[in-house]
Amino acid sequence: KNEVEQSPQNLTAQEGEFITINCSYSVGISALHWLQQHPGGGIVSLFMLSSGKKKHGRLIATINIQEKHSSLHITASHPRDSAVYICAGNSGGGADGLTFGKGTHLIIQP
């Protein structure tokens, strides 16, 4: 059974701080997704990665396949980054249903 563990569960930081959210996953997961959900909002896919590193604006996602670990970083954090960040994985070439972490509730204070 695929498993995804995410930490921290809650994170409060000041505007401008560098943010790191971590995700560990089980054998069998070959693709790792980072998702964002604003309060009362829908889910937006930020990244899907199976190796290496991806960057989009102030967001960076990395994955270490050997250690089965991924991180999501936010540089120069801003209050609008406040959201729940969810790590999710799937297998079978990434073409099956996602297994989700419990999410990290991030609050960026001005």
Partner 1 sequence: GAGVSQSPSNKVTEKGKDVELRCDPISGHTALYWYRQSLGQGLEFLIYFQGNSAPDKSGLPSDRFSAERTGGSVSTLTIQRTQQEDSAVYLCASRGGGTVNNEQFFGPGTRLTVL
Task: Point out which residues bind partner 1 (CB under 8 A).
Answer: 31, 33, 35, 42-45, 48, 86, 88, 90, 93-100, 102-103
Beta strands in the chain (DSSP E): 4-7, 10-14, 19-25, 31-37, 43-49, 53-56, 59-64, 69-74, 83-90, 99-100, 104-109
Q: What angle do CA 87, 91, 92 make, to 5 degrees?
A: 155
CA-based R_g, the chain, Å: 13
Q: State which residue, 15 or 96, has the beta carbon closest to partner 1.
A: 96
| Closest distance of CB 102 from partner 1, Å | 5
The least CB distance from residue 105 to partner 1, in Å, is 12
Minimum separation from the CB atom of position 6 to partner 1 (A)? 10
Nearest CB to partner 1, comparing residues 13 and 98 = 98
Q: Which is nearer to partner 1, 13 or 48 (CB)?
A: 48
Token couple for 15: 């505007």
